[in-house]
Amino acid sequence: MRDVAILGVGQTRFGELWDRSFREIGIEAGLQALVDAKLSSQDLGALYLGNMASGSLIDQEHIAPMILDYAGLAGHHLGGIRIEGGGASGALALHEGWLAVASGAHDFVVVGGAEKLTDVPDAEANRVVTGTADHEWEGVFGATLPALWAMVARRHMHDYGTTREQLAQVAVNAHENGSRNPNAHYRNKISLEAVLGASPVAEPLGMLDCAPFSDGAAALVLGPLERARKFTDTPIRLAASQVACDTMALHHRRDLTTLDSTVVAAKRAFDQARRTPADVRVAEIHDGYTISALVALEDLGFVDKGAAGPAFVSGAFGPGGKVTVNTSGGLKSQGRPFGAVGVAQVVEIVRQLRGEAGDRQVAGASLGLAHDVGGTGATSVVHLMERVN
Amino acid sequence: MSIARFWRETPRRYNLGGCRCPTCQTVYFPPRSVCPVCVNHRRSIGRMEPFQLSGEGEVVTFTLVHEAAEGFEMQVPYVMAIVRAKEGPQLTAAVVDIDPADVKIGLKVRATFRKLREEGRAGVIHYGYKFAPMDATHHPPDRPAGGTRLPATTATTTTVGSEARA
Amino acid sequence: MKQDVGIVSYGAYVPRYRITPAEIGRVWGTDGAAMGASLGVRRKSVPAPDEDTITISTEALRTALIRGAIDPQEIGALYIGSESHPYAVKPSATVVAQAVGATPNLTAADFEFACKAGTAAIQTCLGLVGAEMIRYGVAIGSDTSQGAPGDALEYSASAGGAAFVIGREHVLARVRHTLSYTTDTPDFWRREGQRYPSHGGRFTGEPAYFRHVTECTRRIMDRAGTTAASYAHVVFHQPNGKFPQRVGKQLGFSEAQMRYGLVTPSIGNTYSGAALIGLANVLDVAKPGDLVLMVGYGSGAGSDAFDFQVTDELATYDRSFGTPVQEFLEGGVEIPYSVYAKFRGKIHMGGEA
């Protein structure tokens, strides 16, 4: 296997993009990434497109050739493959792109992630995203995706004394970071009181504990590290790409407050990169719900099991902390276009490692982590990126 | 949801029909065609035995849902819980006939039979298990085994590929 | 009856919620408390939004099967009497049979005869069991009846049911006699597709309820050679608290004889469930040797009468599982009309046709 570099990144604004279609945003992100990589489309071997539910959300399946076609590449006849893994679809697409380049099957590929959630009513979007959990044994009985995560939160509070205020602080920090991200869905700062007082969705989670439904797309160009200097002065090495799965239903997990898929994917990733969690300075983690972020910090190895709440409130994961998380604003503030999330996380890490993150920049970051989750953790994907000097 | 998709699960949804691994005796709900514990030596394939849950269990976590799943709009706010059945497996279900403020981790519950959802006003009605608080009168009487005989027909046959039998 | 056939197990179920006539009257600007007093109804039961005739029947029957340690596979017939079957076409009985594990070797059907469909089901089971065509027959009377908002019926129409297993072995209450009295008398009905029933007002009284119940009671006592004084307990159909008391008094029964059979004042009129929940309450307290008379009534119209003799088996019958009827009568959680309207589907959600 050869080393793989990220040569270019692209991302649309996230949010309620009423005037823009799925194909427009997909193409915008892809072309940005190609331009950023200074790569000709003729050099491309394939497109790996992460998407959760285009069939349910825009009545369009078979979207990889559609994006290639409207990007003007139909005549090149390159391969286009859609990849689905719920909210982890984008990160899975990156994993597939990494495999293709690392193996030598392709030299240059585009990895994309795109989702259009606002073309259906909220109730329909809720139904679709709940389908990333176990429909037959959770959804049928009245569980929603936030309800399942709320049950993780309740158990975490019970087992470890995690408080409602600690959960709320995750959302407050996300908006603080997102306020500095021009691509973010929500750029307003919010107070702890606002999070605590928001209308309940599934107790103990309220509306401001839950990431929004957003439209958006993001893209990356990958290529062999040994040829990277030809295209960019700041190649970022993809140091690890790991996927792990677990039971579909939350109720079948070994432990209701641990995502074993994340624990295993992270361990494999750190082994692959021969690094440890202590080496990571900047991380984009899954915060679809405030509890998701606390559980992720524990499962990724940044803090002991059960200790994430107090650690988060103490500032360990804010600016100047041992790991700065979700400088993009995370899913909560930057937005949650499900299939695009995993790719956008990597876009942010690449910008941080290149030193291009503007007033969100974390000083001295050389190793970054991206963590994406599908459903309630049936799939977790962990990527490690490092600056090449 | 298509009629067949719900109908084929009625032995599980109506009667909590699960299965048990003959090798390690672990009980599963819903039934599985291969035992995750014994999965490595494949001995369980094609040999999982039907096993009926009693319907008794305990709440291990719960939430009060305000933004309803489709078809549950008239029931908000409703309690959803993960229940650990007495026999071991955990399942997700609503908890009814209780003030939400009284739901606690550790609450003893028993299965009850309720409407889950309707396919609109003209469509099929889906029924299945929910849980209600266990009270003193709902502990099954202490009788010799077989006293409350369980329905043989609710046992499910697990399907396996033909290669698994070879 | 030629041989010992009767009830071998039973179970009742009443939903958890209650509403008072005063609360109903408050919404319609009438003196609900006075209405309740004139009907003899203190509270009525209200089903949760996820309960219907099928779920109530299942709960009642599961209790009966566990109490009697009855193998559901030995059930040869299962009939549910109700005027609120969730489907106009598609049996409730098949769902219940599947839910208790009685399928597939049985016959099943839904009965409809206003409020006496459950007693008609008992008679049918007696015939099948008595003829030794089946080992056990199940008869259920269950309803989630509705009165039109503001109608007098709204103060009494409630939800509940009871299930009786009929058999020849370990009989708790032997049926000595049963007979019926049936005429075409349209006092109460619901046309196909109509949401709420209609009724003939005061016509539901003398020519309907009173004539049929009285005639049927006299005829069964004639056949049995009994008088009112022969019975330890009597159960009449009870559309409200007043009719059964009046007809009982006219026929010479005392308050004490009627006490346990009268459940409507506490839970409202459960229609097909009414007389059967009353009978279940009687069996919760009856003694071996007691004679029990039950006379059902269904609009349209007819009465079914049963003369039971309680056996020694009742003394050892294990009722430790399942809620005693008395707890249903005294328990429950009162709800305001707003919640009642939500639970009963009287609120129309967005997007509905």
For A130-163, how does the pLDDT look when each residue is reduced to its tens digit (9 = 90+)? 999 999 999 999 999 999 999 999 999 999 999 9
Using a CB–CB cutoff of 8 Å, tell me whether A295 touches chain B. Answer: no
> In the sheet where C6-13 sits, what is the strand order?
C107-111, C75-81, C136-144, C159-167, C6-13, C173-185, C300-310, C291-295, C233-236
Nearest to C323 among B11, B137, B151 (CB): B137
pLDDT band at residue B154, thresholds of 50, 70 and 90?
very low
Contact A144 B62 (CB under 8 A): no
Q: What interface predicted TM-score (ipTM) does this complex get?
A: 0.96
Q: Considering only alpha carbons, which residue of chain B is nearest residue A126? A: B69
Instruction: Work out the average pLDDT over A109-128.
Output: 97
Using a CB–CB cutoff of 8 Å, tell me whether B64 touches chain A. Answer: yes
pLDDT surpasses 70 at B161: no
- If DSSP codes are grouped into helix, strand and coil, which group holds residue C317? coil
Could you count the other beta carbons within 10 Å of the beta carbon of residue C306? 25
Contacts with B, A 38-77, CB within 8 Å: none
Cβ contact A102:A37 at 8 Å? no
pLDDT surpasses 90 at B46: no
- If DSSP codes are grouped into helix, strand and coil, which group holds residue A306? coil
List CB contacts (< 8 A) between B115 and chain C: 49-52, 54-55
Nearest to B113 among C59, C66, C318 (CB): C59
Q: Considering only alpha carbons, which residue of chain A is nearest residue B78? A: A142
Is A325 among the domain residues? Answer: yes
The active-site residue out of C115, C125, C154, C199 is: C115
Range of the domain at A71: 4-121+214-236
Give catalytic status of residue C115 as yes or no.
yes
Contact B151 C72 (CB under 8 A): yes
Q: Are residues A185 and A219 in the same domain?
A: no
Of C346, C294, C11, the C-alpha closest to C157 is C346
pLDDT surpasses 80 at A221: yes
Q: For residue C255, give the amino acid letter.
A: E
Task: Work out the percent of chain A whose per-residue pLDDT is above 90.
Answer: 98
Q: Are residues A294 and A347 in the same domain?
A: yes
Nearest to A202 among B6, B66, B90 (CB): B66
Rounded to 5 degrees, what are φ and ψ at A345?
A: -60, -40
Whole-angstrom distance, CA of residue A270 vs CA of residue B148: 54
List CB contacts (< 8 A) between C341 and chain B: none
Q: Are residues A144 and A44 in the same domain?
A: no
Q: Are residues A368 and A337 in the same domain?
A: yes
How many domains is chain A built from? 2
What count of CB pairs under 8 Å joins A to B? Answer: 101
Closest Cα in chain B, distance from residue A202 (Å): 4
Instruction: Work out the average pLDDT over A204-225.
Output: 98
**To the nearest whole number, what is the mean pLDDT of chain A?**
97
pLDDT score for B140 = 62
Name, in order, each residue with C-beta under 8 angstroms of A382's C-beta and a sequence gap of 6 or more.
A240, A241, A242, A262, A265, A266, A268, A269, A300, A369, A370, A371
Is A314 among the domain residues? Answer: yes
Domain boundaries, chain B: 55-134
List CB contacts (< 8 A) between A378 and chain B: none
Contact C48 B96 (CB under 8 A): yes
Contact C353 B113 (CB under 8 A): no
Is A355 among the domain residues? Answer: yes
CATH number among 2.60.40, 2.40.50, 3.30.70, 1.10.10, domain B55-134: 2.40.50
Of A94, A63, A98, A102, the C-alpha closest to A81 is A63
Is A256 among the domain residues? Answer: yes
pLDDT score for B147 = 35
Please give chain C's pLDDT, 353 residues, in tens.
667 999 999 999 999 999 999 999 999 999 999 999 999 999 999 999 999 999 999 999 999 999 999 999 999 999 999 999 999 999 999 999 999 999 999 999 999 999 999 999 999 999 999 999 999 999 999 999 888 888 889 999 999 999 999 999 999 999 999 999 999 999 999 998 898 999 999 999 999 999 999 999 999 999 999 999 999 999 999 999 999 999 999 999 999 999 999 999 999 999 999 999 999 999 999 999 999 999 999 999 999 999 999 999 999 999 999 999 999 999 999 999 999 999 998 888 776 54
Task: Please report all neighbours of C, defined by 3+ CB atom pairs within 8 A.
Answer: B
Q: Are residues A25 and A149 in the same domain?
A: no
Q: Considering only alpha carbons, which residue of chain B is nearest residue A199? A: B66
Is A127 among the domain residues? Answer: no
Of C170, C168, C199, the C-alpha closest to C185 is C199
B-interface mutation test, from A151, A247, A250, A258, most B Cβ less than 10 A away: A151
Q: Considering only alpha carbons, which residue of chain C is nearest residue B112? A: C59
Q: Are residues A232 and A285 in the same domain?
A: no
List CB contacts (< 8 A) between C100 and chain B: 151
Is A110 among the domain residues? Answer: yes
Closest Cα in chain C, distance from residue B163 (Å): 32
Give catalytic status of residue C212 as yes or no.
no
Using a CB–CB cutoff of 8 Å, tell me whether B10 touches chain A. Answer: no
Instruction: Give the total residue count for chain A.
Output: 389
Whole-angstrom distance, CA of residue A268 vs CA of residue C297: 74
- What does R_g of chain A's alpha carbons equal in angstroms? 19
Q: Are residues A147 and A296 in the same domain?
A: yes
Q: Are residues A88 and A62 in the same domain?
A: yes
Supply the angle between the helices A290-299 and A164-178 in degrees, to the nearest 10: 90
Task: Please report all neighbours of A, defined by 3+ CB atom pairs within 8 A.
Answer: B
pLDDT surpasses 80 at A128: yes
Cβ contact A148:A155 at 8 Å? no
State the pTM of this model: 0.95
pLDDT band at residue A350, thresholds of 50, 70 and 90?
very high
Q: Are residues A163 and A254 in the same domain?
A: yes
Contact B149 C86 (CB under 8 A): no
Contact B82 A136 (CB under 8 A): no
Contact A251 B82 (CB under 8 A): yes
Cβ contact C219:C173 at 8 Å? no
The enclosing domain of A73 has a CATH number of 3.40.47.10
pLDDT score for C2 = 65
Using a CB–CB cutoff of 8 Å, tell me whether A245 touches chain B. Answer: no
pLDDT band at residue B135, thresholds of 50, 70 and 90?
confident
Instruction: Give the total residue count for chain B.
Output: 166
Could you count the other beta carbons within 10 Å of the beta carbon of residue B143? 12
The active-site residue out of C59, C83, C154, C177 is: C83
Using a CB–CB cutoff of 8 Å, tell me whether A248 touches chain B. Answer: no
Task: Please report all neighbours of B, defined by 3+ CB atom pairs within 8 A.
Answer: A, C
Q: Are residues A140 and A10 in the same domain?
A: no
Instruction: Work out the average pLDDT over A312-330.
Output: 96
Q: Are residues A248 and A261 in the same domain?
A: yes
Closest Cα in chain C, distance from residue B161 (Å): 27
Closest Cα in chain A, distance from residue B144 (Å): 32
pLDDT surpasses 60 at A389: yes
Q: Are residues A192 and A313 in the same domain?
A: yes
Give B93-120 pLDDT, tens digit per residue: 999 999 999 999 999 999 999 999 998 8
Instruction: Work out the average pLDDT over A319-331.
Output: 96
DSSP per-residue letters across C190-233 = --TT-SS-EE-GGGGIIIIIIHHHHHHHHHHHHHHT--GGG-SE
Cβ contact C15:C160 at 8 Å? yes
Q: Could you give all domains of chain C from N- to C-terminal order, each with its CATH number?
A: 6-172+322-343 (3.40.47.10), 173-313 (3.40.47.10)
Q: Considering only alpha carbons, which residue of chain B is nearest residue C332? A: B97
Using a CB–CB cutoff of 8 Å, tell me whether C73 touches chain B. Answer: yes
Whole-angstrom distance, CA of residue A77 vs CA of residue A45: 9
pLDDT score for B40 = 72
Using a CB–CB cutoff of 8 Å, tell me whether C87 touches chain B. Answer: yes
Contact A154 B6 (CB under 8 A): no
Give catalytic status of residue C237 as yes or no.
yes
